[in-house]
Amino acid sequence: MVAAVDQAMDAAGLTNPHVREYVNYWAELTGAERVEVVSASDDSRLIKESLAAGEILPAGDGLYYSRSYFKDTARSEERTIVASNNPSDAGVYNNWRSAEEMRPLLEGKMRGASAGKTMYVIPYLMAPPGSPLEAYAAGVELTDHRTVALHMIRMSRVGVDFVNNLADPNSFVRAVHVTGDLENLGQGTPEDQRYFVTIGDERTILHFGSSYGGNALLGKIAHGLRQAAYDGWASGEFLAEQFMLVGITDKKTGKKYHICGGFPSASGKTNLAMTLAPDALGDRYYVEFYGDDIAWLRVDPEDGKIYAINPEFGVFGVAKDTNAATNPGALDSVAPGTQSLFTNIAYNADTNEVWWEGKTPEPPADVTGWADWKGNLISERAEGDDSPWAHPNSRFTTTLANVPNIAADFENPKGVPIDAVIFGGRTRDREPLIRAITDLAEGVYDGLTLGAEATFAAEGVDGQLRYDPMSMRPFMAYPEGAYAAHWLKVIGQAKDQPIFAHVNWFQRDPEDGHFLWPGYRENLRPLLWLMELKNGEVKGRQTPVGIIPTKDELNLDGLEIKPEDLDTILTIDNDRWRQEMGHREKHLKQFDGLPESIWEAHRRITADLEAEG
């Protein structure tokens, strides 16, 4: 086998001796029948092979459809662990375990588990080439699932050059994915066999027991977020966050602003980055997409500005409710010819059409040929079965270049300077449309107390409120107290401090449940207000929890909203907020070593709410 593995690497020009040793080790351990090195240029051949094998199905010109195993459709947080060799790396959310325990456990599960399969070797880069953070960006994913290779080619930059020419040839992330026998893994039971482990201080990722993107695309979630967060902290150099990143140009003044921010999974990052609608506000603004899920932030020692890069190369977006009104950009980016992939939506094998809830108001009237995300024919459904046709966490995968409003300079290795950091979640009451925060500690405090309703992006209960610090709860790699201190340190170095804001597009009417704010394309309006506030052009209204817009400051041209709904989303409900502060205190008390300035912010806000109430 060793000779064959070396031959495959020779043929692909994979010369890095450390990578070759790593590939040989895992080829042997997993028992893979053969090894294949993947570059982006292999995509069309891999697509043909996947079609021939029935792993993907045609979904129109240059579009493809796949289903993941029905018990394997979301990230599994309880099965996710960030391990290390240092017990003091244990936090509340990282499920820390020792590397000593995890490595043999995972090796045991993976031993022989790829027998009869091909192991794809995917050298990748999670950064625009030439980035100052490039030293943290290289990795090699090994996977025994061809569809994962197709996704990786879209979501990251893939090719042997990214690992052959490393300044330190040993400084790549080792990311091993073994699918396992999906039908016998006891998903969600006490006998669950799955393990999704990142060993932070060994820069090694070992994922066993899933082929769903959120668990299997190791460049994206495991490296881009967990490993990078650990590296950013260990080196002291940067932050890696589950953030979207957009640019807004005001053509009247010629100024360009960059805003990044975190919303928990399935809470609107992709939508915000793709759909802000400048056309709704005359011809004055244009909005550019930089990223929708991950940003790495550093302060440039020369000009003292905060720069953000999107380490990804593609978009892995939620399909549900995506349509021409909510997110036309997403539809364009998965248009015919874009080589996009769909996962777990509804599919018509006769016509190759696809559908998901919210694509059109009603599902196709003629159900002939239509099957739901599990592959069951709609025409054979039992009477009264009205379960969704598409899985609520079904996704589309496309490359950044397909996004219609992709920024011209999205590959600028330096990244873009940040003006604002926003946080937001699904919150049905209490949280106003936007509240701005000008103090760094208060901004970090706001991120740490981000709360949102749970969604289907992770296994769990939909709709239940839970805290999700900075939207990083599923990706926390080291203790939360140290995380807060690292934030204060990195952002504190910046000469130009960003403005912070908390946004909420999801406040609902308590009676009939309708969303009070139209959301989607209209979310540009509060962001423009935020930039005006930062520029001193508007004053807003100071409240104990931040500055909120007055009605006349918010651009409401052409907006359809009931006056009483607008009043509600621009009001602070003091009673609800005072209640919330008690929950926050309990939440923050879980974290050891939280910086005193965070507690000071908490006490200051609590006291201000009491004084007003």
Helix (H) or strand (E) run with residue 3 in it: helix 2-12
520 binds, among Mn ion, ligand GTP, none (CB under 5 to 8 A by kind): ligand GTP
Residue 355 binding target from ligand GTP, Mn ion, none, CB below 5 to 8 Å by type: none
- Select 514 or 586, whichever has its Cβ closest to ligand GTP: 514
> Is 180 or 519 the residue whose CB approaches ligand GTP more closely?
519
What number of other Cβ atoms are within 10 A of residue 311's Cβ? 29
Least Å distance, CB 112 to ligand GTP, is 34
- Annotated binding-site positions: 75, 212-214, 265-271, 393-395, 426, 520-523
Q: Site residues (CB under 6 A) for ligand GTP?
A: 263, 265-271, 292-293, 317-318, 320-321, 326, 457, 505-506, 515, 519-520, 523
348 contact, one of ligand GTP, Mn ion, none, CB 5-8 Å limit per kind: none
Cβ proximity to ligand GTP: between 410 and 520 the closer is: 520
Query: Cα angle vertex 195, ends 194, 200, to 5°?
Result: 170
Q: Which residues pair with 296 in a beta bridge?
A: 240, 309
Q: Which residue has the tokens 């926003």?
A: 422
List Cβ neighbours of 150 (8 Å cut-off, separation of 6 or more). 43, 46, 47, 50, 56, 64, 341
Residues 226-265 that bind Mn ion (CB under 5 A): 265
Alpha helices in 294-435, H assignment, sequence order: 328-333
CB-based closest residue to ligand GTP: 519
- The token duo for 264 is 């928990």
> Number of residues in contact with Mn ion, rule: CB under 5 A?
4
Q: Which of ligand GTP, Mn ion, none interacts with 519 (beta carbon under 5 to 8 A by kind)?
A: ligand GTP
Segment 287 to 306, residues that bind Mn ion, using CB under 5 A: 293
Clarify whether 39 is annotated catalytic: no
| Position closest to Mn ion via CB | 270
Residues pairing with 120 in the sheet: 36, 143
Query: Cβ closer to Mn ion: 407 or 516?
Result: 407
**Closer residue to ligand GTP in complex, CB, 141/293:** 293
Determine the Cα–Cα distance for residues 142 and 149; give it in Å rounded to an integer.
9
Output the CA torsion sign for 357, 362, 364, 365. positive
Angle at 453 between CA 488 and CA 587, to 5 degrees: 45
DSSP states of 140-205: EEEES-HHHHHHHHHHSEE-THHHHT-SSTT-SEEEEEE---GGGS-TTSTT---EEEEEGGGTEE
* C-alpha span between 499 and 532 (Å, rounded): 11
Residue 402 C-beta: closest distance to ligand GTP, Å: 16
Q: Give the active site residue among 50, 84, 131, 267.
A: 267
Which of 94, 270, 393, 397 is in the footprint of Mn ion by CB under 5 A? 270
Alpha-carbon distance of 447 to 476, in angstroms, equals 13
Site string for Mn ion, 338-377 (x = CB under 5 A): ----------------------------------------
Complex with ligand GTP: residue 269 or 473, whichever CB lies closer: 269
Query: 561: closest CA among 507, 600, 613, 606?
Result: 507
215 binds Mn ion (CB under 5 A): no
What residue 321 binds from ligand GTP, Mn ion, none (CB within 5 to 8 A, per partner kind)? ligand GTP
| Binding-site residue positions for GTP | 266-271, 395, 426, 520-523
Q: Say whether residue 468 binds Mn ion (CB under 5 A).
A: no
Contacting positions for Mn ion (CB under 5 A): 265, 269-270, 293
Residues recognised as catalytic:
267
